[in-house]
Structure 1
């Protein structure tokens, strides 16, 4: 295992966390890893759920620690520890050194002032309620702010990324796409977004309810304006296969060789297609789509919108649905849900290939890109410290291989790797 990964997830982490908690006047009672972001050769960042005793009271806190991102600097709640060779930054939420706007976004009085300044809730009589909806240490956070008369989302990013994301939201909103409307942004990395209506497509998928047809989703992508292609190009998930294979190999050496071989096969087949010039969402899957009934009424997380291959958007959706079918266990209900998810993934793939009017995508290309997204998702069990993550990672690699050789979802013309 990589030394930084071992340091932040092994027994030594207790000493690091204990020293950081003690520096803020507390005592570490217990801790567990909640999330791991390991980038071999670059940085390792870990989030923890800790039990801390302060002033005689015990409470749960979110802590973070990072090796390789200490260049973000310190700040209130950030403790830097070094043994002369390795430097570790440790902090308490919300004092993330990579997200300088996060303390302000998680302060009720500060958000109340922000709402008033934006004219969203000028007559609010009480500080809004705040809820953390997502947190990836040093990378991003989403805070929901809700008052008696208003609701909005505060997206916190690394400062250098916020203006570009504001521009993406404005472009797509002005083009009539059902994306959150940008209400304002700040240089320190805070983007304020309007809420969307509907429920996540993931809930409909989970509960076996009606979902959009392949044609409906192709229609949604047709609405992306051509100006999306003027945005900076970002690599598709499948184009980063080698990177994700390295992450898998660092966390699970027993699968390093297989992951590298699968990445090589994906890269070889992608080279047949070259660079895409379609407007794309960049990260399209069921948790990013809001529905009212089976009608699409919202599209979330447009951070990666830009030029690319439409097949990457379609493959992203198919791969995420297929991953939902891979849960372990022998519970009959879970097995039935898994089978349903797998059928849905296969039905979408077949529908995207057979779409009429020349809109269908190449079966071999789609299968390759599904495999590429699945390879990126194979890092997930370790990242969130899923129970028996090693076996879950191997199951996902099995699915990657199955899409490449055509055995997991036979599509006419897909061929073999």
Structure 2
């Protein structure tokens, strides 16, 4: 946004009534103040104040997503029904952030002893390229500048993580690209990462980048492995996935070392205990068992890794991998953590998918292949650690009955720990 005191309007209107929380969240007494503020009645009041600055009526507020980072920040995205002067009602994404460091050029509102930063779509103060990326005229000029044609473009928002990144699909009927919007200081490095990997792996070769933080990536054919699994289609051999990771360039191992899943599990456990108090005892038990079963003597070399490897990162066609996505997470780490993350995602996906048999079959094949290269018990414990990380997801998206879903995933982590017993023969 260009102003620190008044948001840029997407329309204009007058109004007087206050917004209501149309999907109320039950506030836990033990929650930290940030969660109580951003998920309680203050959310409706702040929404009302915010849109009144645009001379608009905020009618209803629905919290949609929470990013809680202990000791750092809490971010909540809402859908707000807004009535504009013409009488038209639209749903506007609104984001509120409470933390130690607030972004510049966001609207600030005091709540008790705290200050909350707010912005509405697409005026993300940390993603200044977002507004341009969803403007057909701007994207059309970008297409022309890059030699992609001058036909009108059709845009579709594919992902948005407030303050972190967004992905917009752009198609002019001849060329389809994906505009990845990141913080401006990261754009050139992401462009260079794609350029360096594209000749060695089926990674989209960056077409270009802008100073405002837009990286232009070509579309890739096929469907995600997740989509293929849901349709029980032809899947790649696990050895092919291993081969992809083998071809990651050695220089990636010179980057900062990523935290392994055994250590990450403890951080995620703290988050679960805070956000889902009803799961605090269970997650404590799981982490206790994980620590007791871990063997510090198992060592892994530091190698290049993808960093966020799972079924939605692979594009598949005819049973072969034709694309590898989201390589901005690539860096140094332990190969076993890439595979553990993949297996963890598949095991959680099987919990919530119908039919689940294709997912379970592929997961079993991937696990069996991985156990030929990695210590069986250590691999399964790291899978358990990754499942603990995924157990944060139900609260993050405010899934109905998130406590039950969190406990179900923690039980799954417990099953992986039990299966890792070193005196137990392979399944």
Whether TM-score is above 0.5 comes out as yes
Match of 1:330 in 2: none
1:209 aligns with 2:230: no
Question: 1:115 deviation in Å?
Answer: 1.5
1:373 aligns with 2:401: no
1:107 aligns with 2:135: yes
Match of 2:144 in 1: 116
1:314 aligns with 2:339: yes
May I ask how many residue pairs the two structures share in their alignment? 394
Match of 1:62 in 2: 93
Q: Structure 1: how far apart are the matches of 2:101 and 2:250?
A: 39
Q: Structure 2: how far apart are the matches of 1:58 and 1:2?
A: 34
Query: Which range is displaced more, 154-163 or 29-38?
Result: 154-163
Match of 1:357 in 2: none
SS state at 2:389 partner: helix
Q: 2:403 aligns with which of 372, 382, 390?
A: 390
Question: 1:351 deviation in Å?
Answer: 2.2
SS state at 1:18 partner: helix
Alignment of 1:30-179 (within 5 A): 30-55=60-85, 56-68=87-99, 71-74=102-105, 78-83=106-111, 85-121=113-149, 124-126=150-152, 128-174=153-199, 176-179=200-203
Structure 1's unaligned 5+ residue stretches are 328-333, 355-359
Match of 1:189 in 2: 213
Provide TM-score, normalisation by structure 1. 0.88
Match of 2:40 in 1: 10
Match of 2:24 in 1: none
Q: Structure 2: how far apart are the matches of 1:184 and 1:237?
A: 34
Q: Structure 1: how far apart are the matches of 2:249 and 2:96?
A: 40
Match of 1:234 in 2: 258
Question: 1:285 deviation in Å?
Answer: 0.6
Q: Structure 2: how far apart are the matches of 1:86 and 1:306?
A: 37
RMSD between aligned residues? 2.2
SS state at 1:99 partner: coil
Q: C-alpha deviations, 1:147-180, integer Å up to 9, x for none?
A: 1322211111123333332232122113x21111
Match of 2:18 in 1: none
Question: 1:87 deviation in Å?
Answer: 0.8
Are the equivalent residues in 1 in contact too, given 2:376–2:420 (CA < 8 A)?
no
Change (3 A) 1:137 1:403: same
SS state at 1:196 partner: coil
Change (3 A) 1:256 1:167: farther
Q: Structure 2: how far apart are the matches of 1:375 and 1:235?
A: 14
Are the equivalent residues in 2 in contact too, given 1:363–1:412 (CA < 8 A)?
no
Question: 1:8 deviation in Å?
Answer: 1.1
Q: Structure 2: how far apart are the matches of 1:318 and 1:404?
A: 14
Q: 1:363 aligns with which of 355, 362, 376?
A: 376
Q: Structure 1: how far apart are the matches of 2:184 and 2:270?
A: 28
